[in-house]
Amino acid sequence: MLSDFDRAVELDLGVRELTAARDRARAEINEISKEVGALRRAGDVEGAERLQARSRELGSNEKNLAAQHGLAETSLREVLLGIPNVPHADAPDGTSDADNPVVTGPVGMPDEFAPHQCVPHWETGAALGILDAERAVKISGAMFNLQRGLGATLARALCQYALDCNADAFEEVRPPSLVTSATLTASGQLPKFADDAYHIANDDLWCIPTAEVPLTSLYGGEIVPEASLPIRMMAATPCYRREAGSAGRDTRGMLRVHEFDKVEILAVCTPEQAPALLDDMVARAEATIAGLGLAYRVIEICTGDLGQSHHRSLDIEVYAPGAEQWLEVSSVSWFSDYQARRADIRVRREPRDGEQQPKGTEIAHTLNGSALAVPRVWAAILEHCRQPDGSVLIPDVLHPYTRGATRISLPASS
């Protein structure tokens, strides 16, 4: 990593030197052009032609310098895109996910789960006829899934529930599910995670891995008035990722899939607004999970486990008794100016206390979080809410979205 910094410094010096040399050549060409005009007006054709020959020589050199400058700038940008964000001073120290401290909970965790709750969701889903992994594989291949009947209703209900939980403060947006390379780069997904994304080569478009990607670039290349901040947006979209997973239980059921639905919340703000927004977004994601009656905890991501773009992050995990593990269902992150710098989202400050309009602009800050990611929450509900007779009670908060259904029961023939 330090070698990347050294390389960036070296390339930056080279770009500066090439910029100066190119600009000197351009200035000399411009000066010669003026002299040539003066000589022609004075009737000194021979002198004008000598200077023109010199101008052509300088022009060739300027083109060469400009080409070198472009290559050097491209190399510098490629190196800079690979350098991670700086962790927040309050981010806990650590080297791996084993060092992530629990900051809230566990909440709602019983001393032990009943035996009927300790059945993996993929077994319960198959028995209830609401999870059809076999046909999903038939039509799409491994690590895709298909919900049927009340299973599909439950997935849709979760998205609408999460949207409604945040509709008081966040504008709902339905962005495109395909985006350009520049859009994926702005959020920090490219170039690092290119192998994890689905690329449509003919059109140079990418399937979004999360709604964070298009929402981050919604104001890309724009100057936003300070008075309009923070801008809060939310979106329910499909998400596409090449989930590698690991052998065995981790790739079964809904735990790791290539396509899933998720509700994302995102904010564009000033640096001063960001800390309070982080707290609010974590509280919202936590309340959404708590409303479902699932056992959960909140952990803070240590410096050694932070993603490349992240300044500070907190995850919400639910416990799945059938899968016998904690499952990350929400991650809320503050990116400082890392994403906004790539997307070129700027803030124009407002004058204060009768002062003049501040000059220039500054880079905005961005935050985003999973208000609710369907697959693992869906899985946890099937395990938490499973009854002794094999049926699953639908959490009360979802009843307004399930067409009157309150329970998912075994098929009559079972």
pLDDT greater than 90 at residue 42: no
With H, G, I as helix, E, B as strand and everything else as coil, classify residue 81: helix
Query: How does residue 30 score in pLDDT terms, banded at 50, 70 and 90?
Result: confident
pLDDT value of residue 375? 96
Count Cβ atoms within 10 A of the Cβ of residue 411 and give its class: 0-12 exposed, 13-18 middle, 19 or more buried. Answer: exposed
CA nearest 210: which of 170, 232, 179? 179
pLDDT surpasses 50 at 246? no
Quick one: pLDDT at residue 31?
85
pLDDT given at position 62 = 86
Q: What is the mean pLDDT of residues 17-40?
A: 85
**How far lies 86's CA from each of 91, 99, 342, in Å?**
10, 18, 15
Q: Count CA atoms within 13 Å of residue 210 on its CB side.
A: 22
**Mean model confidence pLDDT for the chain:** 91
pLDDT at 52: 80
pLDDT per residue as tens digits for the range 141-154:
998 999 999 999 99
User: Buried (b) or exposed (e) across 308-342, using 16+ Cβ within 10 A?
Assistant: ebbbbbbbbbbbbbbbeebbebbbbbbbbbbbbbb
**281 has a pLDDT exceeding 50:** yes
- Over 50: is that where the pLDDT of 226 sits? yes
Whole-number pLDDT of residue 37: 80
- Give the CA-trace dihedral at 89, 95, 96, 102, to 10 degrees: -50
Residue 59 or 152, more confident: 152
- pTM of the predicted structure, to 2 decimals: 0.86
**pLDDT for 4:** 78
CA 94-258-174 angle, to 5 degrees, is 95
| Average pLDDT rounded to a whole number, residues 126-138 | 95
Which residue type occupies 169? A
Alpha carbon of 366 to those of 212, 285, 347: distances in Å?
10, 17, 12
CB 381 within 8 A of CB 154: yes
Considering the four listed CATH numbers 3.30.930.10, 3.40.50.2300, 3.10.20.30, 3.40.630.30, the one that applies to the domain covering 97-408 is 3.30.930.10
Residue 295 has pLDDT above 90, yes or no: yes
CA 61, 64, 70, 76 dihedral sign is: negative
